Amino acid sequence: MKTRACVLYGKEDVRIETREIGDVGPKQVRVRIGAGGLCGSDIHYFRDGGIGTIQVSEPIILGHEVAGTVEAVGGEVTNVKPGSRVALCPSLPCGHCRFCQIGQQQHCLDMQFFGSAMRKPHCNGGFRDEIIVEDFQCEPVGDIGLDEAACAEPLAVGLHAINNAGSVFGKRVLVMGAGPIGALLVGAAKLAGAEEIVAVDLADAPLSAAIKMGAMTTVNALAEPDRLARRYSGDKGYFDVGFECTGAGVALGNMFPVVKPRGVIVAVGVSSGAHIPFNALVGKEIHLAGTHRFHAEYPIAARMIAERRIDVRPIISATLPMDRIRDAFDVVRDRSLQMKVQLSFAT
Ligand SMILES: [Zn+2]
Ligand SMILES: [Zn+2]
């Protein structure tokens, strides 16, 4: 059996190719992909040929935010059946290294992750009409749209970030950067009981999405660069928890004046040269935490979406057919209009 796939050969060189797919094993599932979201890694791989030290050095099928419909299952599969709509968890931890053994699968020493050039050979992703996956990667999503289901991965990133913050219940929460991850994090923080959520971005499209996801106040830091500090830095700060989702070093630094003493700052975005004001870190006893991917949060994210307890529709801004992936990479550049840009596949 054959499938079309979006294969990246290197910087700005993406091709639609036909690939052979084999038979399903006893615990495997063949899924017809319906929707796939472009994520930061796909965009960097396409535009720059890599991210920092991670370089695309051989052809790789892109995509790690995918959902589809089950077509065939192996003899030992019990969690899904043909016709089930599923969100596909993109991570395949080894299950037996020392981090997998203590429930920290996101730190697996032998992780395989859809559409990741981190290891060689690169791990192929899910931008393809048909894919064979392991049964445990399939999260049933009822009859929710596959475009919504394909948001389970970025939502899981947000849920893991919230778990790393401790709790947001009854807290004042700041979200720096209201792109797809930040806006989904707003929705999750609201569901998790945040008392007040303020979202900051440089563009209006993300800010209006953040309002729809549950932010009470937004700040356009391009139009009003001083507003965040002016309004929230008095009396040693205002926020209990801050999430840095932009990956810009300056944004991380700007959070320290507005987060209260003993507050938590979670770095979700990765910055090459974050400026951390150590005086404030020490003097205000700020807890600075990182967050990396997710594990247990993926099925929770899929369920929250399937039940529309978090309605992700405000973040899906455009959908193009998979053979227009090159155009999709152009469309997603316009942050004044775009949030999550998705591909649709053969139906
Ligand atoms: Zn992603
Ligand atoms: Zn492992």
Compute, in angstroms, the gap from residue 169 CA to the centroid of ligand 1: 26
Token digits for 73?
Answer: 């299952």
Cα of 129 vs centre of ligand 1, distance in Å, is 19
Backbone angles phi, psi at 116, to 5 degrees: -115, 130
Residues with Cβ within 8 Å of 89's Cβ and at least 6 positions away in sequence, in order, are 136, 137, 138, 139, 152, 153, 298, 299
**CA proximity to 231, closest of 223, 241, 239:** 239
CA 62–ligand 1 middle distance (angstroms): 11
What is the C-alpha to C-alpha distance for residues 204 and 219, in angstroms, rounded to an integer? 9
53 CA → ligand 1 middle, Å: 19
Ligand 2: centre distance to CA 20 (Å)? 28
| Residue 42 confidence (pLDDT) above 70 | yes
Task: Dump pLDDT digits (tens) for 261-271.
Answer: 999 999 998 87
How many angstroms does the Cα of residue 157 sit away from the middle of ligand 1? 8
Q: Indicate if the pLDDT at residue 187 is higher than 80.
A: yes
- pLDDT (tens digit, 9 = 90+) per residue, 308-320? 999 999 999 999 9
* 113 CA → ligand 2 middle, Å: 12
Q: pLDDT tens-digit profile of 99-121?
A: 999 999 999 999 999 999 999 99
Give, as one character, the DSSP assignment of residue 324.
G
Ligand number with the minimum distance to the CA of 116: 1
> Alpha carbon of 261 to those of 237, 256, 277, 280, 287: distances in Å?
7, 9, 14, 9, 9
What is d(CA 46, CA 63) in angstroms, rounded to the nearest whole number? 11
Say which ligand is closest to the CA of 294: 1
